[in-house]
Amino acid sequence: MTIEEKSRKTLAELGVADAAAVPALFAELREAMQREREELIARGAGSEAERQQLAKALRDRWLGRKNGILAYLDESWLKSAPKDLKPVVGREFNQLRQLARELEIDRLIRDLTIRLEESPSVKGGIVKSVGGAIPWDAKVNVRIGASLTLPGYRRPLGSIHPVTRVQREIEDIFLNLGFTIETGPEIESVYYNFDALNILENHPSRDDWDTIYVDAQTVLRSHTSPVQIRAMQKRGAPLYIIAPGKSYRRDNPDATHSPMFHQLEGLAIDTDITFADLKGTLDFFAKKFFGEKVRTRFNPSFFPFTEPSGEVAVSCPFCDGQGCRRCKQSGWIELLGCGMVHPEVLRHGGIDPERYSGWAFGLGIDRFAMVKYDINDIQLFFQGDVRFLEQF
């Protein structure tokens, strides 16, 4: 019985009553499909028109919408299969359909070569081509329109963007410390972006010239801190998270500012959390990222959402704190802000400040990438210049 005849009969007519016999039946079809494709490719075509015709004929034989073998299998085997056989028939049919993609016309034409028959234009065993003289061998099929003297096409491989590379490196450090990654919406409400973070209405960051407003109650988030509030409300305490992502502010583009930038914030909430835990964690992080010789320095500062607050600087990794152009001869590079989470922020997150305490920090991923790779213009990250990106 031929393949066409089998495809028009139901499984019952073929004597298939149990699932164990189905794979062998489909294996026979796959073998026949592969054999017909290989025979066609080995035969080749005498001209471009014949190549198109042969490719279409084989494709229609198996994949024709009305009279193709797979169309008959769908009707006779799959749709009419008993309920207990449908899962295995469906699985085998899908595998056969995946293999049948190799019978698409464009794929067949790609592998089906044109036979060059010896003719009066072939003299002395040499075929003249645009690229030069090609030694003639009657057993070799030459692809039409291709010059064997030209080099092949090579597509250059891409690489990970430096900002993404640095973000993943920072994430790995904190993941190894037991933190988890949290994300949130980039279009945020005024409540989550300001109110819940104890940023009062008279704070300068709430002005139109600093934050990008969508409407009176919606903004493009100016930091990833809203993710901390959402995580507290969703998970409660104890909580150890980092929140990487894009942030937006009304900054004029220059060498150190961009209206869109990447930020990563960390939050740790538990019982008996102190500023000493914050200092130890950030010192460990700095040494892991910049090297064991790096020293950290904490200076007091002010942020509405932390109390007390501080700014962290590291000894310049380029000059080992001796002073150079990168650290402006100071020996230190300021990198991030941090502090103990303000009780009001904990309350907005649904956490009792009498029982729990916590610390938080925020850093610019772009800033870290600039320091790590000694890049002096943040705009290079966003211009898509291949000459710059291919260095990483």
Return the domain boundaries, the chain: 3-111, 117-150, 162-389
Check residue 93 and give its pLDDT: 85
Nearest to 357 by CA among 343, 374, 373: 343
**Per-position DSSP letters for 243-302, written without gaps between them:** EEEEEE-----SSS--SEEEEEEEEEEETT--HHHHHHHHHHHHHHHH-TT--EEEEEEE
Most confident of 3-17, 93-107, 154-168, 259-273: 259-273
Rounded to an integer, what distance in angstroms lies between the CA atom of residue 184 and that of residue 21? 51
Q: Report pLDDT digits (tens) over 309-332.
A: 999 999 988 888 888 888 888 999
Average pLDDT of the segment spanning 369-374: 91
Domain covering 162-389, topology: BirA Bifunctional Protein; domain 2 (3.30.930)
**End-to-end alpha-carbon separation of the chain, Å?**
61
Distance of CA 47 to the CA centre of its chain: 44
Backbone angles phi, psi at 225, to 5 degrees: -60, -30
Q: What is the dihedral of CA 258, 264, 269, 275, to 10 degrees?
A: -80
Q: For residue 170, give the H/E element and its range.
A: helix 162-176
Least confident of 96-110, 126-140, 147-161, 210-224: 126-140
Structure tokens at 363: 């850093």
Q: Report pLDDT digits (tens) over 80-112.
A: 888 888 888 888 888 888 888 888 888 888 887
Contact yes or no for 277/293 (Cβ under 8 A): no
Q: Is the pLDDT of residue 388 over 60?
A: yes
Rounded to an integer, what distance in angstroms lies between the CA atom of residue 208 and that of residue 226? 19
Average pLDDT along the chain: 86
pLDDT interval class at 116 (50, 70, 90)? low
pLDDT interval class at 59 (50, 70, 90)? confident
Query: Comparing 276 with 386, which gets the higher pLDDT?
Result: 276
Q: Is the pLDDT of residue 129 over 80?
A: no
Rounded to an integer, what distance in angstroms lies between the CA atom of residue 65 and that of residue 278? 66
* 189 strand-pairing partners: 218
Rounded to an integer, what distance in angstroms lies between the CA atom of residue 200 and that of residue 345? 12
Rounded to an integer, what distance in angstroms lies between the CA atom of residue 41 and that of residue 55? 10
CA distances from 301 to 207, 311, 331, 365 (A): 22, 6, 20, 21
Order of strands, sheet of 260-270, starting from the edge strand that comes earlier in the sequence: 180-181, 239-248, 260-270, 357-364, 332-341, 306-315, 296-303
Rounded to an integer, what distance in angstroms lies between the CA atom of residue 294 and that of residue 64? 68
261 CB contacts (<8 Å, ≥6 apart)? 246, 247, 248, 249, 364, 365, 366, 378
pLDDT interval class at 120 (50, 70, 90)? very low
Grouping H, G, I as helix, E, B as strand and the rest as coil, residue 149 is coil
Residue 68 per-residue DSSP state: S
Please state, as a whole number, how many other Cβ atoms lie within 10 Å of the Cβ of residue 54.
20
Nearest to 370 by CA among 329, 338, 337, 334: 334
**Structural Rg of the chain based on CA atoms:** 34
68 CB contacts (<8 Å, ≥6 apart)? 60, 61, 62
Residue 247 identity: S
74 CB contacts (<8 Å, ≥6 apart)? 93
